[in-house]
């Protein structure tokens, strides 16, 4: 007997529903991690499984004493067209300097505050291994790459700022206004943003694709920033972390930050 129109439609509907449901369940299991498809990275690209950064705060302090002029911040913000907005409340920053008690508020007792009184702490997105911002984003505009970098798609972001509420590190900035008038010198190699989207450091993914290390690491004259693959036992970052004492911001929250601070 031939299939009835009604049954056919029912079957089609069920199939569609099933497909959608299985896709949804699959998404839930992978916690929103996405793979870039139909994309082969160029042969010169740096490849890693979990990119990480180690910041030697004492070297950073020495570098500043010698007058490095905080090149890391300057270069990063120039290369990525980060606007300099005078109003502190609406500012946008990818990498910045803060005091110990602000970077590690839960550790900051009187003695440690004194020890680290003049030590600068560079803050940036921690590129968490289990990023809460990715978990909460309703559009996958922020997502984690296979190499561990937490990415931002400026073109998909709807500007709900759920990620900013979820980030325990205050690493994310929102474009409260059109940022372009505040970009002094535009770098044509990198997109500028429009108003209403969130942005943050992305470990210079665009430079990694060209075989270059992140701009802040390259710019530091004191070699206070070290970049490498945490999954590689023989990388410089892995070796340093095995030998020296490093702490991470708010490790107790279980987000597994990939930025380490050497404090010995």
Partner 1 sequence: MLEKALKGSKKYWLWVLFLLSIIFIGFLCYLYQFKVGLGITGMSRDVSWGFYIANFTFLVGVAAGAVMIVLPYYWHNYKEYGKITVLGEFLAVAAVTMCILFVFVDLGQPMRVFNVVRFPTPNSIMFYDVIVLSGYLLLNLICGWTVLHSEYKGTKYPSWLKPIIYLAIVWAPSIHIVTAFLYQGLPGRHFWLTAVMAPRFLASAFSAGPALVLVAALLLKKVANFDPGKKAIDSLAKTVAYAFIINVLLFIFELFTAFYSGIHSHQAPIKYLFVGLEGHAEWVPFMWVATILAIIGILLLVIPYTRKNETTLVLACIAVFISCWIDKGIGLITGGYTPTPFETITPYKPTLPEIGITLGVWAIGFLIMTILYKIVLEVKSSKELVVKYEGVLYKK
Binding site for partner 1 (CB under 8 A): 24-25, 27-28, 31-32, 89-92, 98, 101-103, 105-106, 132, 134-141, 156-162, 164-170, 173-178, 194-198, 250, 253-255
* Assigned token pair, 89: 């409340």
One DSSP character per residue, 165-214 reads: HH-TT---EE-SS--GGG-SS--TTS----TT-EE---TTHHHHTTT---
Name the residue nearer to partner 1 (CB basis): 145 or 196: 196
Report in angstroms how near the CB of residue 249 gets to partner 1 at its nearest. Answer: 9
Q: Residues 151, 202: contact at Cβ < 8 Å?
A: yes
Name the residue nearer to partner 1 (CB basis): 193 or 207: 193
Percent of residues in the chain assigned helix, strand, coil, to nearest 5:
35, 15, 50
Report in angstroms how near the CB of residue 234 gets to partner 1 at its nearest. Answer: 32
Report in angstroms how near the CB of residue 246 gets to partner 1 at its nearest. Answer: 20
Report in angstroms how near the CB of residue 117 gets to partner 1 at its nearest. Answer: 17
Name the residue nearer to partner 1 (CB basis): 13 or 69: 13
Name the residue nearer to partner 1 (CB basis): 11 or 24: 24
Name the residue nearer to partner 1 (CB basis): 177 or 205: 177
Count of other CB atoms within 10 angstroms of residue 87: 9
Rounded CA-CA distance 75/64 in Å is: 15
Report in angstroms how near the CB of residue 218 gets to partner 1 at its nearest. Answer: 27
**Angle at the Cα of 144 (from 142 to 146), degrees rounded to 5?**
150
């Amino acid at each position: 007997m031939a299939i009835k129109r009604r049954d056919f439609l029912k079957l089609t509907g069920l199939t569609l529903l099933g497909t959608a449901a299985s896709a949804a369940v699959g998404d839930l299991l992978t916690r929103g991690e996405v793979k870039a498809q139909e994309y082969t990275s160029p042969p010169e690209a740096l490849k890693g499984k979990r990119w990480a950064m180690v910041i030697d705060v004492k070297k950073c302090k020495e570098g500043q004493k010698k007058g490095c002029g905080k090149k890391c911040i300057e270069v990063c913000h120039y290369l990525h067209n980060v606007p300099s907005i005078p109003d502190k409340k609406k500012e946008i920053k990818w990498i910045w300097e803060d005091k110990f008690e602000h970077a590690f508020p839960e550790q900051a007792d009187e003695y440690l505050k004194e020890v680290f009184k003049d030590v600068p702490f560079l803050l940036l997105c921690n590129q968490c291994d289990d990023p809460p911002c990715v978990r909460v984003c309703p559009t996958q505009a922020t997502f984690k790459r296979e190499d561990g970098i937490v990415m931002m798609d400026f073109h998909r972001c709807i500007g709900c700022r759920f990620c900013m509420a979820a980030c325990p590190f205050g690493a994310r900035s929102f474009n409260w206004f059109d940022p372009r008038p505040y970009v002094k010198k535009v770098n044509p190699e990198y997109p500028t943003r429009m108003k209403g989207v969130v942005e943050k450091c992305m470990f210079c993914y665009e430079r990694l694709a060209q075989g270059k290390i992140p701009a802040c690491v390259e710019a530091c004259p004191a070699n206070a920033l070290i970049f490498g693959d945490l999954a590689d036992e023989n990388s410089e970052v892995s070796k340093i972390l095995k030998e020296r004492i490093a702490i991470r911001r708010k490790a107790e929250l279980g987000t597994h930050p990939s930025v380490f601070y050497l404090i010995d």
